[in-house]
Structure 1
Amino acid sequence: MSFKRQLLQHLFNHSVESVMVTDANGIIERVNAAFTDITGYSAEEAIGRSPNLVQSSRHDPSFYAQMWQQLEATGCWSGQVWNRRKSGEVYLQWLNINTLTDDAGQITHRVAIGHDLSAYQPTNIERSPFTFKDPLTQLGNRQLLTSRLDQALAEAERNNIRIGLMVVDIGRFRQINEQLGLAWGDDILRQQARTLQAAVDEADTLVRLQGDMFAILRHSRAQDATMAQLADKLLGLMAQPIILADNSVVSLQPSIGIAIYPRDAEDNAGLLQAAEHAHSMAKRAGRNRFQFVDQRQHDLHHRELLIEHSLHHVLNTSLGEGLSLHYQPQVRPTDGKVMAMEALLRWQHPKLGALSPAEFIPVAEQSAQSVRLDRWVIEQVCVQVALWRQRYAEVPVISINLSAPQFSEPDFAEWLLGCVTQAGIQPQCIKLEVTETTMMAHKDNCVIMLGCLRSLGFKISLDDFGTGYSALACLHQFPLDELKIDRSFMVEASQNARAFLLLKTIVKLAQELSLNLVVEGVEQQDQLNLLADFGPLTVQGYYYYRPMPVIEVMALLD
C-alpha cells in the first residue's frame, strides 16, 4: 500500500467526525470508527443498508427533497440534520455530503462527513462561534437560525402567538462578483449586513443563510402589517446605491419572501422552506419587492418536492414501491383483434394516493429522473413480455413511451438491446413511442438513435402526431414504422367537417408513406363509424378497452 493510501486510511479510521461512504444508489459501503461511536451502529450493521438507518422523523419529506435537489444540481450539500442513534436518541449533526465521479462524469460514490453538535445547546451559542457565526459578516449563520427557530416555535405554540420569517437577498450578486471580483462582492455583503442589522429590532434574529441570502426571524409582533412594513423599509434601504472604496457606485435589486407561523407552516424546516418559496416568487415577479406565501402555490410546490423525493426513493429501491404498469390494447376495428398494447405507468403514492402520470412525469423530467423512470418501465415490460410468451402462443407488441432526455443518453440503444436479450425476448416484441414534440426538439439525435434502434429490430412510433410544431415537413426523414394520431383529432373530427377532412388527409399521408396507423381517443360508436372507410388501421380508446392491470390482460390473452 502506498504512503498516500496509508495516510488516507489512517485519516479515515481515526477521524473524530463520522464518515459514511455510499455507492451511486445510496447503499452504504463503508463507515469509520467515529460513525460507530456516534450512532451506535457497527460497520456490519450499517454496510448494505440505506442512510435511512440513522434518519429521524424531525424533518418532513420536503427537507430531504431539497437536499437531493441540491445534490443532483451541484454534487454537494451541507447543513444541520437531526439524526437518530441506535439507542433511539435524536441528536443534532452538521453534515457535509460530496459526490464522487469517474473520468466519464458518472457518479460512483457519495461521501457524508458528520460532526456531532449535540454537545452545543442554545446556552452555548456565545461559546461556540465557529458553529453559530458567519465569519464574513459576523452575523449568525444557518445553524443559529435553526436553533433559534426551534426555541421560537416552542414559545409560539405555548403562548399561541405568531412568529415571522423573512428570506432576503441583495440582488444582482452574481453579476457583481463577475464584474468587480469576489473582494468587492464580500465588501458589499458586509455593507448590506450592517444595513440590515441597523434596521431590525434587537429582539429579532438576523443571520446570513448563504451567498447573498439573509434571514430575519421575528419572535413576536409578526402580523402581516408589521412584517410588510419591515419588508418595505428594508427594500428601500437595500436598494440605495452603494459607494465602493474606489468611488464606483453599485445599485442592487433586493427581494424578500415572508412566511408566518402557524399559518404557512408548523415546523422549523417547513417555515424556512415556505419563506424561501415566497422569496423565489418575489424574484420571478421582477425583484425589488416582497412577497407573502401564496398558500396554493406553496402547497403545490411542497407537493412537487414530496413527489420528487419519493420518486428518488422509489427508483433507488429494487422493488419500485407503489409503481405499476397498466396496459391499454390497440385494436383492429374490422375484427376486434388486439394488435398491440401500450404500457402506461401508474403510481400509488403512500401519502398522496393515486397520482396521475400528468402530475408525476413532469416532476421526474424537471428533477432529471425521467431517464431512470423510463428504464424502470422498460425493465418491467421486458420481464412481463417474457413471462407472457412462456404462457401464451400469441402476445401483442408492447408500446413503451420514451422521454426526451433519453435521447441524450449515448448508451441507450446498447442498454435497451441488453435488456431485451437478458429477458430472452426479441426486439420485435417492443414498440418505442416518441412524441412529435420530442422528435422535433431533438431532431438530429432522434434520427440517429431511432435509426439505430430500428436497425436492431425495434418498432418506432411517432406519438401525439399533430400536437407539436409539426413534424409534417420532416416526416420523411424519420425512421418510423407507425404514426399515432392524437386523440384531439378524433374529438374534433366527430364535431367538425373540416377537422374530419384533415384527419382523413393525415390517414392518406400515412398510407402513402407505408406507415402503420393508430388513432387514439376512440370512445363512441359514431367516432368508430367515421373511420370505417379509412382503410387498414388500429384504434386505441375507451370504446374497446381502458388501461388494465396485468391480471386483466392475462384474462384477455387466455
Structure 2
Amino acid sequence: MQNTISYLEKRPLPAGELHFLEHRVHFKSQLLQHVFDHAVESIMVTDAEGVIERVNAAFSQITGFSAEEAVGQTPRLVQSARHSPEFYQRMWQQLLLTGHWSGQVWNRRKSGEVYLQWLSINTLTDDQGRVTHRVAIGHDLTALKTTQNERTLFTFKDPLTQLGNRQLLTSRLDQALAEAQRNKIRVGLMVLDIGRLKPVNEQLGLTWGDDVLRQQARTLQAAIDEADTLVRLQGDIFAVLRHSKAEDATMAQLADKLLGLLGQPIVLADQNIVSLQPSIGIAVFPRDAKDKESLLQAAEYAHAMAKREGRNRFQFVDLRQHQLHHRELAIEHRLSHLLNSGDSEGLSLHFQPQICPQSGALCGLETLLRWRHPVLGPVSPAEFIPVAEQSGLSVRLDRWVIERVCEQVAAWQARHPGLPVVSVNLGAQQFSQPDFADWLQDCVVRAGIRPEQLKLEVTETTMMANTESCVAMLGRLRQLGFRISLDDFGTGYSALSCLHRFPLDELKIDRSFMVEASQSERAYILLKTIVGLAHQLSLSLVVEGVEQEDQLALLADFGSLTVQGYYFYQPLPVEETERLLESRRP
C-alpha cells in the first residue's frame, strides 16, 4: 500500500486503473474484517498508550467481557495475579526493543477463573516509525492443558489413597520454593507416618492394612487447609506441604492437631480396633534448607528424630524451637482444659499488699495469678499469659480471675470491715468485648460486693494501643463505681497525654523507675516530677518495686503515696493474706 500511494502521488492514474485499486483495497479491508470477526483466537487492539480500541467475538467468548466492557480499558482488565511485576517488566522491555513478544500467560476471565493462554503481541507503526497500535492475539490453552492433565493424572496420583504421590510433591515444591523466594515467605514441610501399621498387616492382613491407610488419608485430607499439598510418599509415610502460614507456631498447631486425629482408635469392618502412634517431622524453608532436596531430607531427618524420641510426637529440625513449642502447647492445652472443665487445680490467687509508708497502714491488695502445671511445675505469668493471649484464652482467663476475686472479697468483707481496695489486672483483649462492663457489674452484684471495692489496672501500652475503645469502656466502668489505675507507667509509650485523656483514679509507677532513681540523679528528678504531676492531677500514686530501705528513703519527701514491693511484702497466698488482715484488724 505504501508503494501504491507513493506512485499515485507522482502521476494521475487512468480512471479504470484507479477503480481497480480502490476495489482491491476495499476487498482487502473486507477480508481483514472477516478474519477479525471469525477468528478462533482472541484479538485485542490497543492504541499506543495501551487503551483497548477493539476486541473480536472470540475475545468476548473466551474472557466473558463484551466489547462494550473492554473498549476504553487496559489489558489489566484480564490480568491474573499469577505473574510478578518483573514478568510484565520483561515483556515490555522486549516489546520496546523488538516490537514483538510471545509466550504463555495466565489471564483471568470475567468470572474470576484463571486460564492459560498463548499470547503474541505485535507493534504497528506509521511511516515515521512511531507506534500507533499494538495487536494481541491469544490462544486458549485450557483444553490442551486438560488433555495433558488427564495423561499425567496417573503419574501424579497414588492409586491406593487417591492422594498425590512423591512426583506431585516434587513438582509442587518447585513452585512453592520459587514463590517463597519471590515473596520472601516461608514454606513448611511435614513428613509423617501413621505408626504401627506393620503389626496390622501381620496380624490382620494387607487388605485391612490398606483400609487403615485409606481411612487415615481421608482424615489427613479433611484436617489440612485447601491450599496445602498432601501426598503419600511410600508405605504409611505421608507429607504435607504448607505453601503459606508456615510460621513455627502454626506448623506446631497443625502437627499437634494431626497427632490427635491420627492417634484416635480406628474401628475396622470386622470390629477390630486399631490404635496407632503417629510421628511427625517438620522442616521450614529457608531456615532449615535452601532447596527442595535438602528440605525433604531435613523433614525426613526430623521425622526420624520424632520416632526415636518415642513416637506420638512431632519434631522440628531446630531442637530448641521444638522444645519451646511443645512447652507452649502443653501450657495452652492445660489452660484450655482448666477453663472448659471448671477444674481450677494448679491455679491460685496471690495478693501483694500495698502500704502507706507514713502510717504503715495497709492501703490495698494487688491480685496476682500463680499456676503450677501438673508436668511442667510452676509456670511464670510472664510465660503463660502470652500463651493465653495468642491462643484466644486470655478473655476467659481474666474473667475466671475476676470471678474468684469477687468471691474472695465477699468472703473477706464479712470478717474484715476495713478491707482495703483489691486491684485486678485487665488484659488488652477485654477491650474488644462489648459485654465486659455489663458482665463485670453482674459479677459484682452476684458476689454481693460494691464496685468501689475493686480497682481495675490497665497497662499504659494497652491504653495507647486501644485508645478509643479504652476511653469509652473505662469511662463506663468508672461511672459504675469501679476505680481505674494506669499500670506500669513509664514502660510503654510514656505518653503524658494519656493522664488527661483517660478516666483515671490512680497512677502506678513501674519498678524500673525506682531502680534507676536509686542509681541516677536525673532518674530521681524525673520520678519526683512525675509524682508532683500526679498530685496536681489529683491522681493517687503507687510506686512499685520498693525492695530496699534506701529506696523507701528516697520517697520520704514525695508526699502522700503508696508503695508496693518486697521491702514490705512479697505476694501472699490466700491463707497468709487472711492472717495479715486478721493481724491488722482494728
- TM-score of the pair, normalised by structure 2: 0.54
Q: 1:269 aligns with which of 296, 312, 326?
A: 312
Cα distance in 1 between the residues matched to 2:194 and 2:484: 48
How many positions carry a matched residue from both structures?
A: 349
CA 1:265–1:410: 2 relative to 1, 3 Å? farther
Q: Equivalent of 1:383, from 399, 404, 407?
A: 407
CA distance in 2, matches of 1:442, 1:144: 40
Q: How far did 1:470 drift? A: 2.5
1:403 matched to 2:446? The reply is: no
Distance in structure 2 (CA, Å) of the matches to 1:484 and 1:472: 13
Counterpart residue identity of residue 312, structure 2: A
Q: Quick check: 1:334 aligned with 2:365?
A: no
Q: 1:141 is matched with which residue: 208, 217, 220? A: 217
Please tell me whether Structure 1 or Structure 2 has the larger radius of gyration of its CA atoms: 2
Identity of aligned residues (%): 56
What residue number does 1:548 align with? 572
One-letter amino acid of the counterpart of residue 235, structure 1:
K
Distance, in Å, in 2 between the alignment partners of 1:332 and 1:371 is 32
- In structure 2, which of residues 268, 279, 292 is the aligned counterpart of residue 235 of structure 1? 292
Contact 2:432 2:469 (8 Å CA) reproduced: yes
Offset from partner CA, 1:371-414 (integer Å, 9 cap, x none): 11111111111011111111112101000001111111111101
Residues 177-236 of structure 1: CA distance to partner in whole angstroms, max 9, x if unpaired?
Answer: 6xxxxxxx9xxx69xx6xx96xxxx7x754244776999xxxxxxxx9xxx9xx979715
Matched ranges for 1:2-41 at <5 A: none
2:201–2:208 contact (8 Å) kept in structure 1 = no
Given that 1:342 and 1:400 are in contact with CA atoms closer than 8 Å, whether structure 2 keeps it comes out as yes
Alignment gaps of 5+ in structure 1: 1-78, 83-90, 93-117, 135-139, 146-168, 178-184, 216-223, 240-253, 279-291
Q: How far apart are the structure 1 equivalents of 2:451 and 2:220?
A: 58
Indicate the residue corresponding to 1:512 in structure 2. Answer: 536
CA deviation string 1:532-557 (max 9, x = no partner): 11111000001111101111111111
Q: What's the offset of the Cα at 1:143? A: 6.7
8 Å Cα contact 1:125/1:132 also seen in 2: no
Cα deviation, residue 431, structure 1: 0.2
Once the two structures are TM-superposed, the CA of residue 350 in structure 1 deviates from its matched residue by 1.4
Cα contact 1:435–1:462 (8 A) shared by 2 = yes
Deviation at residue 330 of structure 1 after TM alignment: 0.8
* 1:71-470 map, 5 Å: 124=205, 126=207, 131-133=212-214, 141=217, 206-209=237-240, 235-236=292-293, 256=299, 258-259=301-302, 261=304, 266-270=309-313, 273-274=314-315, 278=316, 292=317, 294-470=318-494
Contact 2:407–2:447, Cα closer than 8 Å, also in 1: yes
Q: Compared with structure 1, are the counterparts of its residues 125 and 447 closer, same or farther at alpha carbon in structure 2 (3 Å cutoff)?
A: farther
Aligned partners of 1:325 and 1:345 also within 8 Å: yes
2:193·2:236 contact (CA, 8 Å) conserved in 1?
Answer: no
Q: TM-score, normalised by structure 1?
A: 0.56
1:255 and 1:444 mapped to 2: Cα distance? 48
RMSD of Structure 2 on Structure 1 (CA): 3.9
Could you tell me how far apart the structure 1 residues matched to 2:548 and 2:299 are? 54
Gapped regions of structure 2 (runs ≥ 5): 1-191, 244-250, 256-280
3-state SS of paired residue (1:514): coil
Relative distance call for 1:232 and 1:370 in structure 2 (3 A) is closer
What is the deviation of 1:341?
0.4
Aligned pair in 2 of structure 1 residues 209, 263: CA closer, same or farther (>3 Å)? closer
Amino acid in the other structure paired with 2:469: N
8 Å CA contact 1:487–1:521 kept in 2: the answer is yes
> Highest relative contact order (Cα 8 Å, sep 6+), 1 or 2?
1
Question: Match of 1:481?
Answer: 505
Return the offset for 1:124: 4.8
* Secondary structure, counterpart of 2:567 in structure 1: coil
**1:58-108, Cα deviation, whole Å (9 max, x unpaired):** xxxxxxxxxxxxxxxxxxxxx9999xxxxxxxx99xxxxxxxxxxxxxxxx
* Shift in alpha-carbon separation, 1:368–1:237, aligned structure 2, 3 A: closer
Whole-angstrom distance in 1 between the partners of 2:451 and 2:289: 64
Deviations 1:303-340 (A, max 9, x none): 11111101111112334111110100111010110111
For the 8 Å contact 1:132–1:144, the answer to whether it is kept is no
Per-residue deviation, 1:258: 3.7
1:243-284, CA deviations, whole angstroms, 9 ceiling, x for partnerless residues?
xxxxxxxxxxx99474154577523321xx21xxx2xxxxxx
Structure 1 residues 260 and 354: CA distance shift in structure 2, 3 A: same
